[in-house]
Amino acid sequence: MMPAPAPRRVRATAAAMELLRRLRDSHGPLMLHQSGGCCDGSAPMCYPAGEFVIGDRDVLLGLLDLRLRAGERADSTPEPNDVVPVWISGPQFAAWQHTQLVLDMVPGRGSGFSLESPEGFRFLSRGRVFEPVELDALSAVAVVTGADFEQGERPAPAAEPQVVADAADACPIPGRGTR
């Protein structure tokens, strides 16, 4: 029996991807860092690429491909401006490694440090606990740390689509069924 393919550690809603595309068009290449609890709690923070210093022990959750829409899969390597790395601190990853992060967007004002702050929307992290079979598959895949990334390592491609139409498509809401 073939092992199950490893799921993505990060996915995004179509709305979050559209906001990222708008921010990229205004600010150039981007990066995201899942905040560790100061300032805006656990808000994902969006910065111009390279503006936030990634530590050697930070973990790369994934690379969002801004060319993709809901349900699409990439058939070629994206240009650097189309890639948004999503990072999390090592200690926070240790606490969240059993959870798939789903980047969403909601009305409101983001942190003063995050690029979406003046847009009238803010990024929001939603989560879905991985199933046991997914955790088994992930245990066979090495995480990419800041030090690894600096040496040129990148995450392995995942089979599932990166972008979902709505957050409930990736993290079903109990009692509301699934889509």
- Please give the span between the terminal C-alpha atoms of the chain, in angstroms, as a whole number: 28
Q: Quick one: pLDDT band at residue 2, thresholds 50, 70, 90?
A: low
Total Cβ atoms within 10 A of residue 45: 21
Average the pLDDT over 11-35 and give the result.
Answer: 96
User: Does residue 40 register a pLDDT over 60?
Assistant: no
Q: What is the pLDDT of residue 38?
A: 56
For residues 162-166, average pLDDT = 95
- The residues with which 63 forms a beta bridge, in sequence order, are 85
DSSP assignments along 125-161, one per residue: EEEEEPPHHHHHHHHTSPPEEHHHHHTT--PPP-SS-
Mean pLDDT to the nearest integer, 150-175: 87
Residues 71-93 have pLDDT tens digits of 999 988 899 999 999 999 999 99
Instruction: Choose among 89, 84, 51, 56: nearest CA to 68.
Output: 84
pLDDT at 103: 96
User: Of 84, 79, 78, 72, nearest to 22 (Cα)?
Assistant: 84
β-bridge mates for residue 122, sequence order: 106
The predicted pLDDT at position 157 comes to 79
Residues 52-65 have pLDDT tens digits of 999 999 999 999 99
The predicted pLDDT at position 131 comes to 95
- Taking residues 21-25, report their average pLDDT: 97
- Average pLDDT of the chain is 90
Alpha-carbon dihedral 109, 122, 119, 71, rounded to 10 degrees: -160
- pLDDT, one tens digit per residue, over 89-147 is 999 999 999 999 999 999 988 766 889 988 889 999 999 999 999 999 999 999 999 99
Global pTM value: 0.92
Q: Percent of the chain beyond pLDDT 70? A: 89
